[in-house]
Amino acid sequence: MDHASDAHRTDLMTITRYVLNEQSKHPESRGDFAILLNHIVLGCTFVCSAVSKGEEQKKLDVLSNEVFVKALVSSGRTEDEEATLVDPSKRGRYCVCFDPLDGSSNIDCGIFGIYMIKHDGELTLADVMQPGKNMLMLSTGSGGVNGFTLDLPLGEFILTHLDIKIYSVNEGNVKNWDEPTAKFVEKCKFPNNGSSPKSLRYIGSMVADVHRTLLYGGIFLYPADKKSPNGKLRALYEAFPMSFLMEQAGGQAFTGKQRALDLVPKKIHERSPIVLGSDDDVEEIKALYAAQEKKE
Ligand code: AFP
């Protein structure tokens, strides 16, 4: 990259800046979480550099584990019940469970679960064996996912994927859609509240589309339409299981008329319209269906 554009890179949103910006919104906190995250980022940068040197896979597993244990303990914000007992004077408020190189045969990514210790003093197994819903999200406000990519020459993670908002529907059915669906999708493409348009992602496999929706948020729609007045997907073994997962993840699942899980099928292969995903997105389309019902 030429020097001129390098000079402009000082305005890049790095993960360090992002975390500190978010931290500044919570003056009441001691900043422990921001410090902890920055130590994890340091570990990631170190491991990424080792990976790029083509270190042998087995060594990498051991190396990456040591890197993160040392980074976390030196942060003074964590407890490590197995590899190292953190000196009481350096005890923090978080315990971190991690797989340093998930899928290390592909050297893909580290996965971290950060849990707030329930009480000061000794770490107990109860502090670690917490339900997933207690995990801290690296997100603020209504959740959402920001993607950062390591720029090795810069040695910083750069914000490359702003809060990704996704809608998932077979646009080939657009001429068959009912009014609420058509209006909702229109708003995804041309938002009138100044937010950026949503990205369309559609695989054509409900499991894959819903899995991505669980990971990144957004909404999946297979509504009733002129071609499929009862929707295409089967209630018992497509809509219900996916709706259950979505509700457990804090989202919603709606048929266009009612909560999907309240539907009582009359036959085994009964079909049901289904709209499921993030709470705010489903609430938005529910309001469109309610407005249409009022007009009828
Ligand atoms: P197939 O098994 O026939 O490919 O259908 C898959 C599916 O039942 C469901 O997994 C998809 O979400 C949906 O159909 C895709 O349907 P369209 O191809 O009409 O979009």
Q: What is the pLDDT of residues 57-99, one digit of tens each?
A: 666 667 777 777 777 767 665 544 454 444 555 556 666 666 5
Centroid of ligand 1 to alpha carbon of 203 (angstroms): 9
- pLDDT value at residue 277: 97
Q: Is 204 left (phi over 0), alpha (psi -120 to 50) or beta?
A: left
The pTM of the whole model exceeds 0.75 = no
Instruction: List the residue whose alpha carbon is closest to atom 5 of ligand 1.
Output: 205
- pLDDT value at residue 186: 97
Contact 276, 210 (CB under 8 A): yes
CA dihedral 93, 97, 99, 100 (to 10 degrees): 20
Contact 200, 166 (CB under 8 A): yes
- pLDDT value at residue 34: 78
Q: Please tell me the number of Cα atoms within 13 Å of 112 on its side-chain side.
A: 22
Convert the pLDDT of each residue in 229-249 to its tens digit.
999 999 988 898 899 889 989
Instruction: Say if residue 178's pLDDT is above 90.
Output: yes
Tell me which residue of 129, 154, 145, 134 sits closest to 216, measured CA to CA: 145
Residue by residue, DSSP assigns 66-82 as: HHHHHHHHHHTSEE-SS
pLDDT category, 228, cuts 50, 70, 90?
very high
Q: Is 214 left (phi over 0), alpha (psi -120 to 50) or beta?
A: alpha
Convert the pLDDT of each residue in 123-173 to its tens digit.
555 555 544 434 443 433 334 556 677 787 887 888 776 666 899 999 999
pLDDT category, 35, cuts 50, 70, 90?
confident
Instruction: Say if residue 109's pLDDT is above 50.
Output: no
172 lines ligand 1 (CB under 6 A): no
First to last CA, the chain: 60
Query: What is the distance between the alpha carbons of residues 71 and 92, in angstroms, rounded to a whole number?
Result: 13
Instruction: Say if residue 280's pLDDT is above 50.
Output: yes
Query: What is the distance between the alpha carbons of residues 106 and 60, in angstroms, rounded to a whole number?
Result: 12
Centroid of ligand 1 to alpha carbon of 232 (angstroms): 8
Top-confidence residue, 247 or 268:
247
Contact 200, 170 (CB under 8 A): no
Which atom from ligand 1 is nearest to the alpha carbon of 209? 12
Centroid of ligand 1 to alpha carbon of 76 (angstroms): 50
Q: Best mutation site among 233, 242, 246 for ligand 1, i.e. most ligand atoms within 8 A of its Cβ?
A: 233
pLDDT category, 2, cuts 50, 70, 90?
very low
Q: Cα 236 to the chain's mean position, in Å? A: 27
Which atom from ligand 1 is nearest to the alpha carbon of 204? 15
170 lines ligand 1 (CB under 6 A): yes
- pLDDT value at residue 138: 44
Centroid of ligand 1 to alpha carbon of 206 (angstroms): 7
Q: Please, which contacts does 46-55 make with residues 24 or more away whose CB atoms are closer than 8 Å? A: 46/71, 47/100, 47/101, 47/110, 48/150, 48/152, 49/152, 51/107, 52/152
- pLDDT value at residue 141: 33
Centroid of ligand 1 to alpha carbon of 34 (angstroms): 43
Token digits of residue 246: 């979505």
